[in-house]
Amino acid sequence: MQARWFAYVPPYLVPRLLDQRASSATQTTKHGQAVVLFADIAGFTPLSEALGQHDSHGTETLTRLLNRCFAPLIDVIERFGGMISTFGGDAITALFPINQPQRTQRVAARAVRCALEMQSLMEQLGAIEIQATKWRLTLKIGIAAGHVLYTTVGDPTKRCVAVVGGSALLRSAEAENQARSGDVIIDYASLDCEQFKRETLDQRFAKVLGLEQSVRAQPIRWPEPITPHPPAQFDAYLHPTIAQQVREGRTAFINERRSVTLLFVNFDAPDYDRDPFAAERLNHYFREVLRIVERYDGYLNKVEIGDKGSSFLVLFGAPVAHENDSDRAAHCALELRALPEFEARIGINTGFVFCGLIGSERRQEYTVIGDTVNLAARLMQQAGQGQILLTEATQETLSSTFLTAPLPAVRVKGRSELVELHELTDLRQTAIRGQEPIYALPMVGRSQELQSVGELLSRIKQGHGQVLGITGEAGMGKSRLVAEIRRIARAQRVAVYSGECLSYGTTISYLLWHNLWRSFFNVDPEWPLDLQMLQLRAQLALIDQDLLDWMPLLASALRLPIPDQSLTKLLDIKSRKMLLESLLVDCLRYRANETPLLLVLEDCHWIDSLSNDLLARITKAIRDVPVLIVLAYRPSAERDQTMWHELRQLEHWHEIELQEFTLDETAELVRLKIKQLLGNRQAPSEQLVSKLTDRAQGNPFYIEELINLVVERQPDLSDPKAVAQLELPDSLHRLIISRIDQLEEATKHTLKVASVIGRLFKANWLWGAYPQLGSAEQVKQQLNTLSRMDLTPLDRDEPELEYLFKHVVTQEVAYQSLPLATRAALHEQVGDYLVETYGVEGAADLLAHHYGMSNNLDKQRNYFRKAGDAAAARYATDVALSYYERCLPLLAAHETIDIFFAMGEIYKHTGRWHEADAIYRRLLNQAQQQQQLSALARVWCEIADVQSSQGLHNDALQSIQPALEYAKQAHDQPTHCKILMRMSWIASYQGQLQQAWQTSHAAVAIAREANDAHSLALALKTHGYMNVLQGQFALAEQLFSEGLALHRQLGQREDEGRMLNVMGEAARHRGDFQHAVELYQQALVIGRELRNPERLIMFLSNLGGALVGLGTYETAIATLNEAFELARSTTWYGIAETYRFRAEAAIGLGYPDEAIRHIIQAHHAARERQQTLELCAALRVLGSALSQLNVPILLPPSLPTTPLNCFEQALSMAEASGSQAEVAAIQLALAEHWQRQQQPTKAQAAWQQAYTIYGQLGMDALQQRVAQWLS
């Protein structure tokens, strides 16, 4: 008889499922008291194993025997008011609810009476004889009472699982463990034992011998009426396949014996009795569990609270099998282990089991039974926290995707022999490799091009680096020529390293270089991670031991998870990028000095921005070392990128533009290709050669594909009539489509799915991402066909099994032939497969590409953000902005704020002020609509920073006022302090020194009040510098010392360097140039240690200024030139001062004309940034240069043309700003001018003024120098 639908769910759920008003059964959580009966059939496992090996009817026999036992036992349980909670293989957990405390004894008596009757029944049912073999099944029962939590976990739209937990279940399982066959054991600590005849076993347990008085049955009451058809929410509690069969009445086909991989997970569950949030925590955990299990198409069969603690069972292979169920289970286990809620212990086993429905028409479940199940459970119990144990059977079926380690054999309960164990540790890392297709035919044509390459190879051997660009349309033979260049170079003992761009890789940072640098450092991605790290360390140590401290910088270039060290974790993203480029250049130059190098970079029309930047650095750096760089790209790249224009400016740049084959070259290739395919069986007629030559139009790829098409049609090539009737496609696109159309449908589908993955694709990605293609063996057969046709030749054999579109045009045509909707669906499936198989770490760009081409907006939103953040962290600024812009339309308004701030920060770092201001204005609207006060304060502060950086200081001061008000309203003291410091710097740029001093003083007070050590240290530095500008050197020194101590206490090495720098500024301003040099040098040590470019520029520039003050002009110029070199790739705000120092050094050496050239740059930079004090200083130095030159010179209209005009303008600005130190410096310059003009009285007066001011400011060293001139 067909079981009714409610037999497949626990009885306490039935009312909820019948309630049509209920939105979801997952809202069912109930606490109560119950007596729990746990019964286990002993002897069933060996019986199932024997029947499984007996004959084809073993499964049917096993099901009949098991249900023959279960059906009457279930009837007894329900007759005494119990309900079946779960089946655990050949075990049953039954609940007897205690609805009123005063009825506890009565309910316990009914449960014990039920157990005794079950034992009596088992005496009759347990004797079995099968083909003259006798078997005996017995029953062991444990009973306890206490708190019970009823809940349902999961997603009602997908999959739900009923869970019952509580101390009563654990105690009943412990009682059953004390039982022998035929026993009923009670936990008398939770039960009133006076009503039972018993034999005490220990302090907790007793064996029931009988009842002191009779107990009446009380059958379970089912809700009425129960509908004949399952309600909508019913399906969520079963596997979809089983639910459908139940609805269709086809449950007879469910039971079977099959090979399954079982995954048992023990988890540290919450305290079901005392934790008020236990149900909530369970639901949150199992939602994640179900999400992972569903991704790998497993089946969360049951959650059990019993003799194994809190655990759950996931099936792979039942009721639906896959060819890689072991792999799916392993992937699933790794992700389950990573869930943060509860610590997991996992056991996995593979083998044959009985799987199907057990129970009766009143109550049944889909379950698995057998020794395979028991062993998986034992492994789970054997595992330590976070450990995944595998049996030998599972280990042998896993693919090479996983890293496993053998463990000592162990003995487990129920087995006499030792069990061989393995531990699953992680996924084996894979990497995209640069490709070198194998060409069977000899090189045809390109003799002039190869001659040019030979000349370039000769030049590099003489120590002159070269860069060669090879450009041509698709199919013109770029890859073939590059392969020949590789062969020639290797024959000449040139080391060859290759990299390749991919069509979907324009946003994957350093993709072009990943394989090249792995080959360069000899780091094989197939090795264990620790071995890869060891090899990389050894390679770096060979070059320079000091490079080991910077090894983490290589993570992005090699796509290796190298953890940061103390030095690298302090670097900002911009510094990391610049230092990575410098590090790779150093390594390349070192290797090139040992042996000549050839770097081959293909498909550069798809280059990503960071690969582009690195290429620009390397091409400039190889000029004097034996390196040949060969770039292959399509001409269209010139329209899209400025890189080619910059490359063509290099003196060592060369370019080859590939042309069509000549008629003779085409004919030669035709003959060679036909001979390769047909041997000497058929010689092509001249008529055929001529026909193919005319149609191919000199395109090598077109030629080969035409010949492939002709041979596949199998005409008689020597028959003029057959050749005349040949119809050839009139374009390369039509040719490829015609070849694809000749494929069988299944093979055609495989090719098109492969085109979505990319030019290089792994075979298992095809059936993994798109199972509809068929089994692994079927797909392999289709790939063999494609390989024989030379469309996608085999690139790597088993176990990797990778194929490569021989020509990218084939991939493009196959891809474009797909409808847009199909492309979108396939991209999403590929993305899902990659996440399931490899996870997200390090693959955000690739996942963003695939989901970005799909229609899944949720995944686009998620992965655009992840990819944008990853790109920003690598300083791939344009890529990051592109992802953020794509993400913004997909977000709710309140979700956009963080992205706007991230975009603004990128625009600021790259000096794109207009875009930064625009993005902050957009953010301002969002923050205003949502009334987020702290966000509003930050936005206005950022707007002011952008304006100030452009020299729009008045606008900045207006913008910063609302920032201040919002920070106060939000009581956001760190932001308040930051705003005050920004206001102080703006005032100092405008020359409003008193206001700058007052504002920075207020910032110190706010930071002290907030007890924020970091903010206080920064505020002390700002306030100290404002004291320097006013000549308050003693107070400045106190502030700096306190700030320096805080930075050192906090371990802020970079900020320590900046503090030493401003202390050097104080010494330089008061004329103590020697002490200034010492302080700057200390800062410079930290700057070089951290390799932060902007800090290095600042420290070098200031050191150069102090050296000018000491009169060591040549050393100063060398120092300043290093700063200029670093500053070329930055928008450093202090560049005006650097130019001024360089001009002062030129004046000191007696080269006023050179000084004027530098001071014009200084004046322009200071005026552009509206830096008032720097404008004063620039005019002062210009006056000195003009005074020394003493001849007319052509100057820009914005500059005064006489020394006196320069000094007058500078003096007026300095006095207005209140900078007495600058006034004194101008008076000194004026005195020197009057002395050259032989007007000693005026010179004496100017010196006197300077002397007086220096005395007032306490600038003793400068006052003493002036005193010498006065005397």
CATH number of the domain to which 988 belongs: 1.25.40.10
Q: Are 846 and 875 in contact (CB under 8 A)?
A: no
Whether 89 is covered by a domain: the verdict is yes
- Coil vs helix vs strand at 683: coil
Which residue, of 701, 728, 755, is where some domain finishes? 728
Q: Are 1265 and 1109 in contact (CB under 8 A)?
A: no
The torsion region of residue 131 among left (phi > 0), alpha (psi -120 to 50) and beta comes to: left
The predicted pLDDT at position 582 comes to 87
What's the N-to-C CA distance of the chain in angstroms?
A: 123
Whether 877 is covered by a domain: the verdict is no
The predicted pLDDT at position 227 comes to 65
Q: Tell me, what CATH number does 370's domain have? A: 3.30.70.1230
Nearest to 1174 by CA among 1127, 1140, 1126: 1140
Which residue, of 381, 397, 413, is where some domain finishes? 397
Shared-domain flag, residues 320 and 191: yes
Whether 596 is covered by a domain: the verdict is yes
Nearest to 437 by CA among 791, 201, 703: 791
Q: How much of the chain is helix, strand and coil, in % rounded to 5?
A: 60, 15, 25
Quote the CA–CA distance of 922 and 918 in Å, as a whole number: 6
The predicted pLDDT at position 640 comes to 45
Shared-domain flag, residues 712 and 836: no
Helices 857-873 and 844-852: angle between axes, nearest 10 degrees? 150
Nearest to 932 by CA among 957, 900, 954, 958: 900
Shared-domain flag, residues 628 and 709: no
Shared-domain flag, residues 668 and 639: no
Which residue, of 1032, 1051, 1070, is where some domain finishes? 1051
Quote the CA–CA distance of 77 and 71 in Å, as a whole number: 10
Shared-domain flag, residues 466 and 333: no
Render pLDDT for 512-571 as a digit per residue (tens, 0 to 9). 898 899 999 988 887 888 888 888 988 898 888 888 888 999 988 888 888 887 777 766
The predicted pLDDT at position 431 comes to 41
DSSP state of 428: P
Q: How many domains does the chain have?
A: 6
The predicted pLDDT at position 1178 comes to 92
- For the stretch 294-317, what's the b/e string if a residue is b when 16 or more beta carbons lie within 10 angstroms of its beta carbon? bbbebbbbbbbbbbebbbbbbbbb
pTM above threshold 0.85? no
Q: Are 1123 and 1138 in contact (CB under 8 A)?
A: yes
> Which residue stretches of the chain have pLDDT < 50?
1-2, 21-26, 55-56, 253, 430-434, 637-640
Token pair recorded at residue 521: 């450092």
Nearest to 475 by CA among 731, 714, 646: 731
Shared-domain flag, residues 698 and 792: no
Range of the domain at 527: 461-657
Residue 1019 backbone dihedrals phi, psi, to 5 degrees: -65, -40
Shared-domain flag, residues 721 and 645: no
Whether 530 is covered by a domain: the verdict is yes
Q: Are 559 and 431 in contact (CB under 8 A)?
A: yes
Strands (E), 776-920: 794-796, 802-804
The predicted pLDDT at position 1268 comes to 79
Render pLDDT for 101-140 as a digit per residue (tens, 0 to 9). 888 888 999 999 999 999 999 998 888 877 667 888 899 9
The predicted pLDDT at position 224 comes to 56
Shared-domain flag, residues 626 and 704: no
Quote the CA–CA distance of 599 and 434 in Å, as a whole number: 11
The predicted pLDDT at position 638 comes to 42
Distances (CA, A) of 74 to 63, 127, 705, 852: 16, 19, 71, 54
CA dihedral 564, 570, 572, 574 (to 10 degrees): -70
Bridge pairing between strands 597-602 and 627-633: parallel
Shared-domain flag, residues 653 and 690: no
